[in-house]
Amino acid sequence: MSKKLVSIIILGICLLLVGCGKEVVDSNFTGKWKLESSGIGMSDGTDYTETKKADIPSLDFDIDSDGNVKELYIDDTVAITNSYKLKQEKDNEYQYDGPIICKKVYEYKTESEKEKVQSELNTLKAKDNVKITKSAQKGDEYQIDLKVEEQDFVLSMEIENEKLIFKKVDNKEKVLIKQTYKKN
């Protein structure tokens, strides 16, 4: 065999091995999920209360095996798309791997709703870990694009009765947010 052919074969094997890397997120967690219930409490599980069914927004959650996550949150006044990457820390614990890219589109009809949007923008500008990349008004909509650099949450996921249990624990504030999703 010629040296050129051997080199091509070795290069092909190397590329194949690189492509066969371990998935970042367990395949049980991958796919499209729809929010079914949500609640908040202390990080140790005490004082946990479920959100009223009427107060639960529409939230879709899409996770791929490479750890890419896309969340779509919609309520009466805002549509939010969050995109981020997860890295595995322990068996079912994950951490944000890089910034959260967020797009918020607010719809307002009254002056008080417009003032709330302006107040939200001012709050975001005051945060150290948030960088606003776009802020624009178009008709009765206001779009804010931002990058959130650091998060204090430890994330965990588990499957229980064919439902995804997604927990965010903020160790700094000692708060637990627990969300249950059904497969879409």
Q: Give domain limits for the chain.
A: 24-183
Mean pLDDT for the stretch of residues 96-120: 92
Decide if pLDDT at 14 tops 50. Answer: no
Predicted confidence at residue 10, as pLDDT, reads 55
Predicted confidence at residue 19, as pLDDT, reads 47
How far apart, in whole angstroms, are the C-alpha atoms of residue 66 and residue 182? Answer: 21
Q: How confident is the model at residue 66 (pLDDT cuts 50, 70, 90)?
A: very high
Q: Assess if CATH 2.40.128 describes domain 24-183.
A: yes
Decide if pLDDT at 114 tops 80. Answer: yes
Question: Tens digits of per-residue pLDDT, 45-61?
Answer: 889 999 887 777 889 99
Long-range contacts of 133-140 (CB under 8 A, 24+ apart): 140/107, 140/108, 140/109
Residue 26 DSSP class: -
Question: Is the pTM higher than 0.85?
Answer: no
